[in-house]
Structures are given as structure tokens and as C-alpha cells.
Amino acid sequence: MEQLIDSGWDSRAWIVDGTWLDREPRRPEVTDRLRAEVSLLTWLAPQLPLPVPQPTIVQDEPLRVRHRVLVGEPLADGSPTIGTALGAFLSALHTVSPAEATRQGALDTAAAEQQLSREIDRMRREVLPLLDGDAAVAGARLLDGLPRRRRVRPWRMPTWVRITS
């Protein structure tokens, strides 16, 4: 039994048998990034202290990837225990090799900046025309304020963030 979750920007998703999350790209240009995500997360997951999706390709044409559903609830209240776990996760994430992450499918800085710029342009073309009045003005203002370059390099902890135990 499948339950469609049809709200994603890049992928359609289905909950399958209450256990699996399947995704298919909405557009052809998403296919390569979804394949890269499979490679990257498979490599990254064992290095992290909290669960992350570990997708596998279950169908090539059209592409469909699958991973176990990660059960949880939105965080309502923090605690020292949650903060410690989150800090350990972020610390582990930011100790992985950027070069190896790129080899495993992460975008390098230049490619990430190009993708960000393309997505901002696409939102301007495809999303803003769907909005009316004040929402359109607020949306345009939001897009105008987004940086075209990443201020934090992918896979690097910003110098102002310090995690201590």
C-alpha cells in the first residue's frame, strides 16, 4: 500500500507499507542529483551518530529510490540531552572530508553556488506568478534578499560556530 506525499519541490514521495519512503524525481534535471544523494548518504550515514536516510535505487527508469522512514516529531522543546546529541551530529558532519564528500556526490562550492542561483531564478519565474498582491511583493522581496553565493562553504563549519563538550 502506498500513500502519496505530493508536496516536494524536486521529488514525489510515497510511504510504502508504513516502513519505506520512495521518491521519484519530478523533472529530468533532478535525476542526477537524486542519484548523487544515494551515493553521498550511503557514504555519510555510518560516520554520523544519529540516523540519516540511506537510500538505495529500487528502479532505474523512471528512477525510484527508497529508504526506511525515519520516525520522529518536530522538536517542540530542547533539552541538554537533545543539544548534546545535535552538537555531536554537527561535529561529526563537519569533520568529514570535503574532497571525499564531493567524490561521493556533494556539490563543490562553485557548483553549489550555480545551483542556488538557478533555483532562485526558477522560483522567480515559476512561483512568484502564482502569488497575489502582498504575497507576491513579500516573495519578490525575499528572493531579492537571498545571496547568490553561499556565505558558508559546503561541508565546512563556519568559524563563528564552536561546539564544545
Please tell me the CATH code under which domain 2-103 is placed.
Answer: 3.30.200.20
**Cβ–Cβ under 8 Å, residues 69 and 18:** yes
Q: Taking phi first (over 0 means left), then psi (-120 to 50 degrees means alpha), and beta for anything else, what does residue 44 get?
A: alpha
Sequence ranges of the domains in the chain: 2-103, 109-145
Average pLDDT, the chain: 86
Distance CA 81, CA 85 (A): 6
Distance CA 103, CA 95 (A): 16
pLDDT at residue 148, as a whole number = 67
Q: How much of the chain, in percent, has pLDDT values that exceed 90?
A: 56
pLDDT tens-digit map of 5-40? 877 778 999 999 999 999 999 999 899 999 999 999
Distance CA 145, CA 124 (A): 12
pLDDT at residue 159, as a whole number = 44
